[in-house]
Each structure stands twice: as C-alpha cells, then as structure tokens.
A and B are shown apart, each in its own frame.
Chain A
Amino acid sequence: MSNVSQFTPKQDIYEQASLWISRVDRGLTHSEIQQLDQWLAASSGHRRILFELASLWDDMSVMNELSGLYPLKSAQATLSSGKDHAAKWKRQARYSSAAAVAIVVLFLGFISDWSWLMGTDNTTAQVSRRLATAIGEQRTVKLADGSYVQLNTNSIINIDFSGGVRRIVLQKGEAHFAVAHDHYRPFVVEAGANTVTAIGTAFNMQLTDTDAFELVVTEGKVLVRDTTSAQDASDATALINPDATASGQLLTAGEKANIRGQVDQRQSLTSDAMQQDLAWQQGMIVFKGEPLEDALKEIGRYTPVTFKIADENLKQKRVAGYFKVGDISGLLFALKNSFNIEHKRVSGMTIELKEITPPVSAG
C-alpha cells in the first residue's frame, strides 16, 4: 500500500470514475481489472466516488420505465427488452422481416441450439455450459443473461439457458448467484432433490451432502421446491404473488436453511452471521469460536492437505479469526502463535497438530 499518490482534482476523479462505470457496464478485460485495482488503491476518494456514481447508475435504471411508455421502433426494441428467448435470436436476425420472425419463433428452441453450435456469438455460447473449479480455486463468471455466479472451491455447475427457464444444476460444492431480473424466465437452481427459483435476487447454495444443501438468501426472495412437485414456470408467478404459494417454502433475504427435500432449520441471520457465512466470496474464512476440528474441516475444502488431530481436547478447542483461503502456512503460523498449536508434516499431504503443552495424559 503506497502512500505516494498524485493530487487529482475532484472533477477528474469523477470523470475517471464514470469511465470505469461505463467500462464495467461493457465488461472489463483482465488487464482492466488490474488497472481498476490500481486506480482504487491510489486513493480512498477514488473508491468513494466510484461507489457514488455506481449508485447513481443503479438509481437511474428507473428510467427504464420510459421504455414501456415509448417502445423503440425496430427489432432493437425486442432485443433490449430481453424478455424472452426470441430476443437473443433476433440479435442475429434483426434485419429479417416481422413475418419471417413470426414463423421462426415456432422453432426457437431448435434455432438457438443451432446458433450455439455455430458458435457465432459469445453470449449464445454461454447458453449451455459447464463450470468447475479446482480445490482452492474460486471464480466469478457472468452468464449470458447478465447474472453472476461465483463458484467456491471444488465446485461444479451446469448451465442450461436454452429453454424458457434459466436452469442451473449445482452438482458439487458451493456457489453464490446474483440473478439478473427477468420475470419471464425464472432462474432455477437444482441441487439434490430440490430446486431454488428466483427471478432477480441473490443467494448462496452449498451442497452438504449429495441430496442436501444449505441455502442463504442474501437479497430478495427465492422459492424452494422439491423436484417432484409442480412446474418451474408457475414458480415465477408464486414469487410475484406470494399468496399463491405455500409460505413455508418462500425464503427471503437474511434467511438461512438446510434443505433436504424439505426446508429445515430455517433461521434468520444477523448481518454479521451472514457476512461470516459468505466471507468466502472475498477469499476469506471467518471463525468465531468453532471447535478446531470443524474449522479445519472447513479449511480442508480449500486445500488438498488433510489435518490430523489425535487429542480429543484439542479437537474441541475453540478458535476464532479470519483466514485467507488456501494460505496453509499462514494458518499454521497463526495456530502456533495464537493458539500454541504445533504442527508436524507426517506425510506428503497430511499435517498433524498438537498442543505445545499437552493436557495431563493418562499415561
């Protein structure tokens, strides 16, 4: 963190910040992400003004209301509405006549798959794909509909946006979804025997077993169902119109639940608890007094290293702190420094932990 920074007039910062917003809107390249990083690091004023303009940008999306009042002439209007699958297709065929479009709409499903095969368009290429992360890896991906998926370590999802429903299967691990609004195409994540449906909201899902997962809703509301029950399409209606659904299955922002067929252990999280739960999104794990054994199990998700503790008392020792994921040597150092726990590498990937002054032993 360098303290050297050039003096920049405030208006220039606003100018730069608005350019960054525009670039973020267009989609940043990898090197631009680093440039933005440096720009943000240069002064806290940069960050403040960037946030201020971003917030204005979001507020101004209210102007979208005008599009209903003044629909845009030409096929572009449908393109921008993003309301259904037709929009995507029309991007490539915007010059064809309305009549042709009307006929072709009947074959949309077929055509979209076709254009995907031809790979002419990046966004359509994302219509159907598989995303995975290795142990210790985390990545954020923007999907074709503008939603963001953040995959945690050792996770797999399958994406299928080809139909009238934005469908994702969480096969393994944990993911956070920030869903772009689209009332007409519900966003459905399947995990185990359940689905979670949203239209524009944010939530986190972590598989805890092959048929169970933990759900945290960070924003808006989602609908939980088991896969044997009704249609996804009607779920969107249920979200908009809450009395149309069984109330037990509608979860709102700040709620957490374990789901295995049924919604279980439903609870409201304090914002602290939620931050702790979702700290992984910032590459961190937070512990607030969990038994060491549990903490190490959590840490183990991010590394091929396994930990061994022989001593039962030590397993139950409560630990607190926040750790950067994947930084095992930092963790070991912290355990030794703050908790008097020593480590020994017993084999290639196994580390044994011991307390420096062992408790009185029976021997």
Chain B
Amino acid sequence: MAGRLEPPQGAESAPFWEATRGGTLLIQWCSACNRGIFYPRSFCPHCLAMDGVLEWRTASGRATVYAASVEHKPAAGGSTFSDGQPYVVALVDLEEGVRMMTNVVGCTPEDVHPGQAVTVTWEPLSDGRQLPLFTPS
C-alpha cells in the first residue's frame, strides 16, 4: 500500500522478511536458552550464545496488546497510508515472548487497549514482502 515507509532489510533479518512473502511470521529463537529474540540479531542477547544456536520458528500469530496509541494527525507525521484517518500504533507481546511494534487494524482505533487479544494479518509491501499488522482476535 502506498504511503508507508517500507522497511529496509538487513542480513540478520532477511529470513524474517522473506517469510512474510508467504504470510509466515518467523521469530528468531535461541536453542541454547530457549527464548525468542526480537529484533533479529547475530547473537542471543539473553544468554550471549552465538554460533549454531540461532533458529527461526514459526510464530502462532497470536499476541496481546501491551500499549496502544492513536495517531490523530497522520499528515503531521508524514503518513498517508491511512488516507488521513487516525490509526493505531501499538506494541504487542507475541505468545512466543517477544514484543514488536505494529498497527492494530480492523476496528475502531479508540477501542484498542492493553490486554486485548490480537491476531496477525498481512499488508502487502511494494516488493512482495508483507508487513505484519494485527487485528482483534
């Protein structure tokens, strides 16, 4: 969709973004300490393990809203993807224990609140990758 700043893709995050083409939400995982890592890194920031322990796991796509705000002045922020309408910027906690920023869509913005259950949904980017958004479960 036009009007978004499309994400650059680093070497460490390439598997994440490539998987979005098929609508799969991958989370980097440390097999040494059995914890999720976000954003993707070249080592595990929890246990400092580096070689041979970093994997990718398919996330369930289920998450809980940690914090949500409504952008009331999209134009002032340079965003045009919402056609000038207020939109939700939220931090959500995935079931796998990692937190990410997203938009919560498909509902009245003011209704989005901490503790709310949400599920991943995808918005196509111009190069075939997709952006993970969330919608109320």
- Whether chain B is bound by chain A comes out as no
